[in-house]
């Protein structure tokens, strides 16, 4: 048994979509969430800069006693996961990848769309996933421009956000995509507007939250890291932004 916390890291609020899955499925596990906030969005930063930021953040979570770290950010995973695993090879580090495999299995039209940041869409990881799983499926890539900012500003439900989401998503549906993969951990917070945009059309929206939670569980078992069933979990929130941001992180985490 190991009651040390699991660290969860993202550029900002997005990783809370993964945090919520862990909170729901693993009530005995303590969690420390680090949402950078100061350098968000990462999507437009250089790979080198993201590696630097990710190293600092993951290093901090480890210093605070984490037994495992989840990089709950597709962009940071794409830019830094190999570097992090080399640097901190003594503990398991879980990364995020777009759910290309289940999307290809679900698609009936033979077209799926991956929505992500520009950096994630250009990544080698995505290229490899497409090559491996999308053998007879066409993958349309689209940048969710402005999506991360809308979530950071807690503008998920506004009319302007719905219009912005519609402008990106409508052409994907018109091209025949019947599965939309949310390849950025901020995007699940836009599921409400996404569903409104899709309306009654037969289009599925999927993300990686549940798959990551399952991966965490399998690693907890593999390395005998599970917390005691009786453990009273603690939840901490950290940021490089200010106290107000930290409080917003906490509130969003427990928001229904």
Active-site positions read: 73, 184
Shortest distance in whole angstroms from residue 137 CB to ligand DGL: 22
Contact between residue 57 and residue 79 where contact means Cβ atoms under 8 Å apart: no
Q: Pick from 9, 19, 23, 42 the residue near ligand DGL by CB under 6 A.
A: 42
Shortest distance in whole angstroms from residue 43 CB to ligand DGL: 3
* Residue among 124 and 229 whose Cβ is closer to ligand DGL: 124
* Residue among 6 and 225 whose Cβ is closer to ligand DGL: 6
CA 10 – CA 42 distance, rounded (Å)? 9
Contact between residue 234 and residue 30 where contact means Cβ atoms under 8 Å apart: yes
CA 239 – CA 23 distance, rounded (Å)? 19
Tell me, residue by residue from 215 to 254, as one string, x for binding to ligand DGL by CB under 6 A and - for no binding. Answer: ----------------------------------------
Tell me, residue by residue from 177 to 206, as one string, x for binding to ligand DGL by CB under 6 A and - for no binding. Answer: -------xxx--------------------
Residues 6+ apart with CB under 8 A from 163: none
User: Using the rule CB under 6 A, is 117 a contact of ligand DGL?
Assistant: yes
CA-based max dimension of the chain? 51
How many amino acids of this chain bind ligand DGL (CB under 6 A)? 16
* Residue among 75 and 107 whose Cβ is closer to ligand DGL: 75
User: Using the rule CB under 6 A, is 123 a contact of ligand DGL?
Assistant: no
Indicate if the alpha-carbon torsion angle 4, 1, 16, 84 is positive or negative.
Answer: positive
User: Using the rule CB under 6 A, is 43 a contact of ligand DGL?
Assistant: yes
**Residue 3 phi, psi dihedral angles, 5° rounding:** -90, 10
Report 46-75 residues binding ligand DGL (CB under 6 A): 73-75
Single out the segment in contact with ligand DGL by CB under 6 A; choices: 6-14, 19-27, 165-173, 233-241.
6-14
Q: Pick from 3, 11, 30, 208 the residue near ligand DGL by CB under 6 A.
A: 11
The Cα-based distances of 5 to 14, 112, 152, 158, 255 in angstroms read 20, 36, 25, 35, 21
Contact between residue 190 and residue 183 where contact means Cβ atoms under 8 Å apart: no
Q: Pick from 32, 40, 165, 194 the residue near ligand DGL by CB under 6 A.
A: 40
Contact between residue 11 and residue 39 where contact means Cβ atoms under 8 Å apart: yes
CA 212 – CA 228 distance, rounded (Å)? 21
Token couple for 103: 């999307």
Q: What residues line the site for ligand DGL (CB under 6 A)? A: 10-11, 14, 40-43, 73-75, 117, 120, 148, 184-186
């Amino acid at each position: 048994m190991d009651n040390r916390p699991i660290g969860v890291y993202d550029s900002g609020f997005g990783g809370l979509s993964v945090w919520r899955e862990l909170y729901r499925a693993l009530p005995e596990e303590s969690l420390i969430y680090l949402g950078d906030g100061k350098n968000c969005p990462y999507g437009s930063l250089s790979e080198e800069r993201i590696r630097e930021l990710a190293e600092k953040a993951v290093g901090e979570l480890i210093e605070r006693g984490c037994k495992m770290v989840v990089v709950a950010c597709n962009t940071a995973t794409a830019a830094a996961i190999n570097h992090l695993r080399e640097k901190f090879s003594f503990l398991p580090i879980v990364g995020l990848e777009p759910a290309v495999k289940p999307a290809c299995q679900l698609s009936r039209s033979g077209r799926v769309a991956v929505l992500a940041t520009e950096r994630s869409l250009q990544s080698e990881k995505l290229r490899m996933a497409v090559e491996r799983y999308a053998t007879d499926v066409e993958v349309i890539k689209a940048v969710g421009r402005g999506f991360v900012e809308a979530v950071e500003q807690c503008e998920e439900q506004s009319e302007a956000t719905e219009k912005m989401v519609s402008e990106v998503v409508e052409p994907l549906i018109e091209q025949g995509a019947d599965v939309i993969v949310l390849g950025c951990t901020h995007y699940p917070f836009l599921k409400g507007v996404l569903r409104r945009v899709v309306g009654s059309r037969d289009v599925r929206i999927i993300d990686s939250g549940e798959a990551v939670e399952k991966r965490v569980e399998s690693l907890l078992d593999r390395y005998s890291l599970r917390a005691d069933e009786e453990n009273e979990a603690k939840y901490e929130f950290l940021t490089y932004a200010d106290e107000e941001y930290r409080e917003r992180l906490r509130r969003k985490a427990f928001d229904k």
